Amino acid sequence: MGEQVVTPYSVSARNGAVDYARIVSDFGCKLIDPQLIQRLEKLTNKPAHPFLRRGIFFAHRDLESILDAYEQGHKFFLYTGRGPSSESLHLGHLVQFMFTKYLQDAFDVPLVIQLSDDEKFIWKDISQEECQRLGRNNAKDIISCGFRLERTFIFSNLDYVSGALFDNVLTISSFLSSNAMSAVFGLNAETDVLGKLLYPAVQIAPAFSTSFDDVFGEGIKMRCLIPCAIDQDPYFRLSRDLAPRLKLYKPALIESRFLPSIEAGDGSGKMSASSPNSAIFVTDTLEEIKQKLAGAAVESVLAYLTFFEENDAVLEEMKADFSSGKRSLEDLKNDLSKVLWEVLENLQQLKAEVDDKILSEFMRPRLIR
Ligand code: ATP
């Protein structure tokens, strides 16, 4: 199989196995070491999330600076997002929001969530109205993860990119050449539509607090921490290069591995909404989960257990029993469907309570600082 490619628009791996050590060295981010995790636990007075303990969130940029500032009493804000390309989130997206919720609770900080419906309009054959509808539906999944209304603002780019945010988008775009965009994102400046070249500025701008004068207060300068999978790194590498020119803080990142696709080994390194057979969606029933897992690769089953079985001892026992032959792959799949259903059933119950009124509240610009 060909070379490994990891950009926000394409993840392909040699023989389906992503080489994370190579990404870290190519991208120039840092590994999260045990000392950093200990420091985080000490500062938040909470045990580290299993995603941290298990090396799922494994890399970062400038997390130390965020912790230094926090220790001195300076708060930061969290920024993450979703490009609504499907009716609902899949488990890979859920990983991001579960972890973001842990960070919001552990540090008690505000959070902005971008719905990049504009991006999906440019990249996919979907109307703007449909992208917005998908975005609102995805936002209900996101809210069911338990985010606190008084600390959380969710925005649709099609609705909200104006005012201070648009000022920053424009300033950022004035620093970026088409050639640089092509090189960083694997685009073609000659043949790709203009919207693809412009979009990165729209994803970069919310990493700066001055984009949100109605949410943080006018001109407020706050540090930003971005939880995301490592494919999003190119946007924020750029944001960090631009920060000194904007006289703003460099955004920091905390970055995860990918949840693999169900069948793995298919050349794509990650579960993706763009290939629905690769994905378990948060709206799936127990029956659907079982059906999808029937064709799952061993490595995906083990990976999903590592992501979603919260209890360390139970997880170790499952893995050990599988290695020794005491548990078959069928047994593991049964265990896994129970583990996943517990997470999804709870989420689906919470989503049933998220009506349009609650959604509108989360999407109403208001101070969350
Ligand atoms: P998809 O093709 O599935 O829609 P995407 O990368 O376009 O994938 P986004 O909505 O842009 O999806 O991503 C939202 C967040 O979820 C980003 O931080 C992205 O890196 C992360 N993400 C997407 N797929 C996975 C995955 N399989 N495992 C872990 N994180 C993922």
For 234-276, the pLDDT digits (tens) are 999 999 999 999 999 999 999 999 999 998 765 567 899 887 7
Report the candidate in 80, 85, 152, 74 with the shortest Cα–Cα distance to residue 119: 85
Among protein residues, the one with the nearest Cα to ligand 1's atom 18 is: 228
Measured from the Cα of 273, ligand 1's closest atom is 3
d(CA 302, CA 267): 18
Characterise 146 by phi-psi region: left (phi > 0), alpha (psi -120 to 50), beta (else): left
Ligand 1 pocket mutation, candidates 12, 93, 101, criterion most atoms within 8 A of CB: 93
Residue 15: the pLDDT is 63
CA 93 / ligand 1 centre spacing (Å): 5
Q: How confident is the model at residue 16 (pLDDT cuts 50, 70, 90)?
A: low
Measured from the Cα of 86, ligand 1's closest atom is 4
- Average pLDDT on 77-82 reads 98
Characterise 268 by phi-psi region: left (phi > 0), alpha (psi -120 to 50), beta (else): beta
Domains of the chain, with CATH numbers? 5-260+352-362 (3.40.50.620)
Among protein residues, the one with the nearest Cα to ligand 1's atom 24 is: 92
In this predicted model, what pLDDT tens digit does every residue of 127-175 receive, in sequence order?
A: 999 999 999 999 999 999 999 999 999 999 999 999 999 999 999 999 9
Among protein residues, the one with the nearest Cα to ligand 1's atom 13 is: 82
Angle at 355 between CA 102 and CA 86, to 5 degrees: 70
CA 281 / ligand 1 centre spacing (Å): 12
Torsion over CA: 198, 202, 203, 208 (sign): positive
CA 129 / ligand 1 centre spacing (Å): 22
Query: Which structure tokens are listed for 80?
Result: 């993450």
CA 124 / ligand 1 centre spacing (Å): 15
In this predicted model, what pLDDT tens digit does every residue of 303-357 receive, in sequence order?
A: 999 999 999 999 999 999 999 999 999 999 999 999 999 999 999 999 999 999 9
Measured from the Cα of 228, ligand 1's closest atom is 18
Tell me how far CA of residue 297 lies from CA of 14, 329, 332, in angstroms. Answer: 16, 9, 11
Residue 1: the pLDDT is 44
CA 95 / ligand 1 centre spacing (Å): 9
Measured from the Cα of 85, ligand 1's closest atom is 4
CA 197 / ligand 1 centre spacing (Å): 20
Strands 30-31 and 57-61: antiparallel
Please give all residues whose beta carbon lies within 6 A of any atom in ligand 1, as ranges: 82-83, 85, 92-93, 95-96, 228-229, 231-232, 256, 258-259, 270-274
Q: Under a CB-based contact definition with an 8 Å cutoff, are residues 262 and 284 in contact?
A: no
